Structure 1
């Protein structure tokens, strides 16, 4: 009985951890633990960041992470904000997907009290044999669909990156033109011509 109570307490405590954790995916490779902590600290206290290996992508070019906040309210705030706004990484807005964490996402999740898992070989005439084959086909189909979605996401990321670089270059060129007009005295001469005042700053 004491063992059962201990398992239930451990399970309930872990569920509290799940409630204050958010799942974030489609993160670019540069989104390491430090970047995530810096970006999410504005929503509260980041207790822990753990990355989930992407076995469908050997290069791990898109990353997934579980981010544990101090309390469930902070986790809800992260989900609400990043659902409606992009996540800033290295000064660049990145569209990421943020969802409430689920128990099955944790490798170290405790066993649910009273739950038992059994294994057995299935013969071809067993009713569950067809179910198992259908599940196997579904896994293969899911892997194919995930690979296609991943490829499309990478293309969108590349397109977004190029757009951001072009915007940065255009803004920098505008700044250089404005700075040049001020430094060579053109702005002051034009202001004097039209009776306007230009601040020294």
Structure 2
């Protein structure tokens, strides 16, 4: 299908308005992402990039179209400088500008034609195709290892957060019990401090 130059230019502008988010929680949906990024401007669309090779419990990637490029830069700058909060919990999300290759519905560049052919063993390009196939297998193994390591790191981070929350909760309970049983009043008298009724 032929793509007009105007359609292609429009798509290029869309790319400039789009931010790519990586390492989103598998539980995150469109409304959560929209709500999290609304502080930077108007979110026009959220599109999750499907992963056909791995299980469903892995981190997700998404393409988020904002209203303009300034908003995209603000999202990237903010996420790069501080943790991205989703549902009150920090998440090690990565953000960068979108690239054309990230869109599965990208139009064909005007004037460009794509040809496919079967490469026979006696073809001069057969060895090149064979090397590319082997390289793709190596990349798949490496990606699987990196993903496994990333999931392990995230599980450790989740445990750390859980332990921090439990410790904070324990401290608050202890403070509440000191206030409730009158120990704080006794301490304030001993140190000659004025403690109000609240």
What TM bracket, shorter-length normalisation? over 0.9
Give, in angstroms, the shift of residue 124 of structure 1. Answer: 2.1
Equivalent pair of 1:82/1:98 in contact (CA under 8 Å)? yes
- C-alpha contact 1:20 1:75 (8 A) present in aligned 2: yes
* Contact 1:53–1:60 (Cα < 8 Å) also in 2: no
C-alpha distance in 1, partners of 2:197/2:98?
Answer: 54
Report runs of 4+ in structure 1 exceeding 6 Å deviation: none
Q: Which residue of 2 aligns with 1:165?
A: 162
> Which of 124, 130, 133 is 2:130 aligned to?
133
1 CA distance for matches of 2:142 and 2:67? 36
Aligned counterpart in structure 1 of residue 55 of structure 2, from 48, 55, 58: 58
2:26/2:56 contact within 8 Å kept = no
* Paired residue total: 198
Query: Counterpart of 1:35?
Result: 32
List aligned pairs for 1:122-201, cutoff 5 A.
122-201=119-198
SS of the aligned residue for 2:193 comes to coil
Which segment is superposed worse, 139-148 or 25-34? 25-34
Match 2:90 to one of 68, 71, 93: 93
SS at match of 2:56: coil
Aligned-partner Cα distance in 2 for 1:50–1:116: 27
Structure 2: how far apart are the matches of 1:7 and 1:197? 78
Unaligned runs of 5+ in 2: none
TM-score (norm 2): 0.94
- The 1-side partners of 2:197 and 2:100 are apart by 61
Query: How many angstroms does 1:161 deviate by?
Result: 0.4
Q: Please, which of 27, 40, 46 is the counterpart of residue 49 of structure 1? A: 46
CA gap 1:200/1:30 in 2 versus in 1, 3 angstroms: farther
Q: CA shift at 1:60, angstroms?
A: 4.4
Shift of 1:137: 0.9
Q: Which residue of 1 aligns with 2:17?
A: 20
